Structure 1
């Protein structure tokens, strides 16, 4: 029976540690891995030498169950007289956190178009006629199609097959029509300088640019917002520039739930820039922020297309 138990413990997926009189009697390979020790160096030695954590040692003394963070892992611990059982729940915790973040991001993705569609419907109910009504209906149709694609293709960032080469100027009219109520409310306008062509999912770029423009309108102090694309050695960068007090820190704002110092009086979830970063990564780009003289710029990049890289190498060869 002793051999069978020993073999079972050796093959167990959970960590097993046996102790007596505060000294380690046995620990299986999983326990040694979770505790980060070598078995031959801790067997017969004081319990604290194997655990290297006073919280775990205290649990061995009093017994019970607990979830603890130890050595970068999330461990569920069950202690009984002479026995310590360990389960690694790190992956499960990370999976739950990723699921919660995805849920928040998806809610953000849906909230923006739905809010715009409600504004258009209210305008139609308020008496839009003729060409203005036709334009509102067309925009409603486009946004309904986008919502349908979001539902069918969730999550958006996992479908590189939706990519195509398109001119950034294609997004201009659609974005201005969608943002028309907010532009009117702020007495603001957008100046476009986007002559470049990129390869990406147009809906993803639209959503990322919409989030940046929405932030600029909410948090910027100037009436003019610039959307500028530029060619760099690495590819194309597209950024939204607005007037305001230059920020001192940008990276933190791209973390989920983080908002700027000027956001206290503005409704929001703090997910807009996090979503921009996720979307940019889907086509191989990066999202960033940088200060300007008298303002700030937030944008994202597009890597060079294969054919462009080939042309660049060809033109750079020595004659």
Structure 2
């Protein structure tokens, strides 16, 4: 005896609820008294179409609410992140005006100039990240390819970030195979390396950071390793997403864009980026690239 007879159903129709994103379910209609007719089937299909439309609208509504919530959260974070260096820059400029009005120690004047410069650079990076979101989303992230030495670029980025490394007391160890010639976008790779080294400083807890670069059979490999807080296995799957982070922005700040932008750049250059990490034992970010990228 079949299940329909056990339920007292004489005839059953099964209509899939097919949305543009796949099958959302199955509409089951049955009768305990008679065999379903062609008219019944036509009605069932029409009913299923309306049900599918309602389900898809509910999904779109939920996604729209989530997108609005994400946008509002991001705008709040972005406003805070932009305000911080802007406020520091304004205070620094006010102090410079006072210091320059009266003769004093030129060392103090240089200190405030350096402070304003750092905050201006930070503000520029934040604005650049926001512009890159628009470029990437519209598929218009520009690439200017040129022949260059990747090892020399790593040394340049490390030297530029030296004062920040000293400030957070993170010793930097470079293990570079030199030269590492190739054809890439210099400014975009600078952006990737700056993001990765910046993350290592932010989450490294004042411990040693190692940056290595070497040739591989497929091209080149750059690795940035820290001994900081680490990333859980659950968070590793999402940290390369837009506006994502593995920690609270209240404690560490940031727009949650650096790794997402880095992945887009590396992918556009024909490579890939990955992370290996254990909570409490640090993280290792690896970028692998082909040597010669074509236009």
Q: For the superposition of Structure 1 and Structure 2, which TM-score range results when normalised by the shorter chain?
A: 0.5 to 0.7
State the distance in 1 between where 2:245 and 2:126 align: 27
Q: Structure 1 residues 254 and 193 mapped into 2: Cα distance closer, same or farther (>3 Å)?
A: same
- Whether the 8 Å CA contact 1:225–1:240 is kept in 2: the answer is yes
* Structure 1 residues 148-163: aligned runs within 5 Å: 155=135, 158=140, 161-163=143-145
Instruction: Note the C-alpha offset of 1:160.
Output: 5.5
Higher relative contact order, structure no. (Cα contacts within 8 Å, ≥ 6 residues apart): 2
| Deviation sequence 1:109-152 (CA, Å, 0-9, x none) | xx79x949x6799499483549x979x979979x979989x979
- Whether the 8 Å CA contact 1:211–1:276 is kept in 2: the answer is yes
Question: 2:169 maps to what in 1?
Answer: 187
The count of aligned residue pairs is: 238
State the distance in 2 between where 1:179 and 1:121 align: 24
- Whether the 8 Å CA contact 2:170–2:204 is kept in 1: the answer is no
TM-score, normalised with respect to structure 2: 0.57
* Structure 1 residues 175-254: aligned runs within 5 Å: 175-178=158-161, 180-181=163-164, 183-194=165-176, 195=178, 196-249=180-233, 250-254=236-240
* Structure 1 residues 1-40: aligned runs within 5 Å: none
- Whether the 8 Å CA contact 1:146–1:203 is kept in 2: the answer is no
* Structure 1 residues 51-90: aligned runs within 5 Å: 52=48, 56=51, 67-69=57-59, 74=60
Q: Structure 1 residues 45 and 189 mapped into 2: Cα distance closer, same or farther (>3 Å)?
A: same
- Could you tell me which runs of 5 or more consecutive residues in structure 1 were left unpaired when the two chains were aligned: 1-31, 37-41, 60-65, 77-89, 308-319
- Whether the 8 Å CA contact 1:139–1:178 is kept in 2: the answer is no
State the distance in 2 between where 1:120 and 1:173 align: 29
Structure 2 residue matching 1:155: 3-state secondary structure = helix
The structure 1 segments of at least 4 consecutive aligned residues displaced by more than 6 Å after TM superposition are: 118-121, 136-141, 143-148
- Whether the 8 Å CA contact 2:174–2:210 is kept in 1: the answer is yes
Structure 2 residue matching 1:290: 3-state secondary structure = strand
- Whether the 8 Å CA contact 1:243–1:294 is kept in 2: the answer is yes
Q: Structure 1 residues 219 and 246 mapped into 2: Cα distance closer, same or farther (>3 Å)?
A: closer
CA RMSD of aligned residues (A): 5.3
Pick the aligned partner of 2:155 from 172, 177, 180.
172
| Deviation sequence 1:223-245 (CA, Å, 0-9, x none) | 22111112222221212100035
Instruction: Note the C-alpha offset of 1:161.
Output: 4.8
Q: Structure 1 residues 58 and 209 mapped into 2: Cα distance closer, same or farther (>3 Å)?
A: closer
TM-score, normalised with respect to structure 1: 0.53
- Could you tell me which runs of 5 or more consecutive residues in structure 2 were left unpaired when the two chains were aligned: 1-17, 24-37, 100-107
* Structure 1 residues 257-268: aligned runs within 5 Å: 257-261=243-247, 265-268=251-254
Q: Structure 1 residues 43 and 229 mapped into 2: Cα distance closer, same or farther (>3 Å)?
A: farther
- Whether the 8 Å CA contact 1:164–1:202 is kept in 2: the answer is yes
| Deviation sequence 1:202-239 (CA, Å, 0-9, x none) | 11111111111121111123422111112222221212
